[in-house]
Structure 1
Amino acid sequence: MSVDAPADCVFPWLAQMGPDPRGGAYTYDWIENLLGLHMHSADHVLEEFQHPRLGESIEFGGNRLILQHVDPPHALAWRSADGNWLWSFTIRDDGPGRTRLISRNRYRLPRTIDRIGMAPMEPASLVMDQKMLRQIAVRAEQLAARRSATDGSPGDGTSA
């Protein structure tokens, strides 16, 4: 997903992702909450979650996700406690004031029943992922615009 904002305006939204009291997943909260995930997508930066540390964990449905990699403002990756799911985000510079936000999910499904169950989840996951990326982009672009208006900079990490 292309984002018209620098990495330091994108990363805060990733850093705070997770179920309540964290910032949600920026998808369709009503669907996530039907599944009991307790998601409430924040529209502002939650300062208390802006310094992620390796080993932190969040409950995500039936999974406990543990923070495996943090490289602010360019990367963040969570791994399920059982090691069967890796969810990573990469933010790449894409010109002045622009970034490319990439989300990747990798699953190891050792049981046949899990592989069968994942088949209908793949298209749904794609829809949810697209919504998440779009909503993070909107929030990052709004944050960049607010920073630009406040400090007079072009909002691209360079000075005016």
Structure 2
Amino acid sequence: MNRERTRRTAGRLARSAATYAVAYPLMLRKRCLAWGATRAEQVREMPGDELMPSAALVSTRAVTIDAPAAAIWPWLAQMGPGRGGAYTYDWIENLLGLDMHSADTVLEQYQHPQVGDAQRLGEKGPVLRVALVEPERALVLRSDDGAWVWAFGLYPDGGGTRLVSRNRISQPHSNAVTKLLSVYVMEPGSLIMERKMLRGVKARAERLARAGLPEPVASR
């Protein structure tokens, strides 16, 4: 009886995996890489694109925030391990040793990111360095190995703001197995984490806007 149940379970899992393997690249991948973004946002040039004109992978994800850029920028400015966190699933981040603790308040000591500022994602992870800062408009990070550019853009949208996050990745896949893991596991995983992050920024910014805007952030 138990063997038969195990066999049926294994069969269902195999069929589900096969269905996913076919459906993801055909029907789900574009939605995964462009969650929340309009077609215009997907094709629009953003600050940071010039740092990697040709990328093996590009994702553009976005969310509408019912707040001005002044209420959103503080949360972007302080992002990072050992800083304001990433506003996503901290327990997952910290399983990977990333030291992420998402702040619910504006941390004044991290409100003036400067070009060249660096943060390492875990003990053996990539070093992300600030490549461009335009307060209340754009923040661009680039890994020291040149394989990853992560850009955030703030765009007025009626009475609110569109927060757009774009990842450009050029690191080549070393073999077919690595490529399959990247496409079928890492891409959906990045959506889960980034969607939570965008919604986390949205909730904090809208709460800050209701409480009263901070003073405008000026470049040093």
TM-score, scaled to structure 1: 0.88
Q: Aligned to 1:7, which of 69, 79, 85?
A: 69
Which residue of structure 2 lines up, in the alignment, with residue 44 of structure 1? 105
Cα distance in structure 1, aligned partners of 2:179 and 2:79? 27
Which residue of structure 1 lines up, in the alignment, with residue 167 of structure 2? 105
Cα distance in structure 2, aligned partners of 1:138 and 1:131? 10
Larger Rg computed on CA atoms: 2
Q: Report the secondary structure of 2:162's partner residue.
A: strand
| 1:115 and 2:189 are equivalent in the alignment | no
Counting only pairs closer than 5 Å after superposition, residues 118-157 of structure 1 correspond to structure 2 as 118-119=182-183, 120-147=185-212
Cα distance in structure 2, aligned partners of 1:35 and 1:127? 16
Aligned residues: 147
Q: Is the 8 A contact 1:29 1:40 kept in 2?
A: yes
Letter of the aligned partner of 2:201 in structure 1?
I
Q: Write 1 or 2 for the structure with the bigger share of helix.
A: 2
Structure 2: unaligned runs, 5 residues or longer: 1-62, 215-220
Structure 1: unaligned runs, 5 residues or longer: 151-160
Which residue of structure 2 lines up, in the alignment, with residue 95 of structure 1? 158
Which residue of structure 2 lines up, in the alignment, with residue 157 of structure 1? none
TM-score, scaled to structure 2: 0.64
Cα distance in structure 2, aligned partners of 1:69 and 1:105? 15
Letter of the aligned partner of 1:123 in structure 2?
P
Q: Give the root-mean-square deviation of aligned CA atoms.
A: 1.4
**Identity rate of aligned residues, in percent?**
54
Which residue of structure 2 lines up, in the alignment, with residue 84 of structure 1? 147
- Structure 1 residue 117: deviation in Å? 4.0
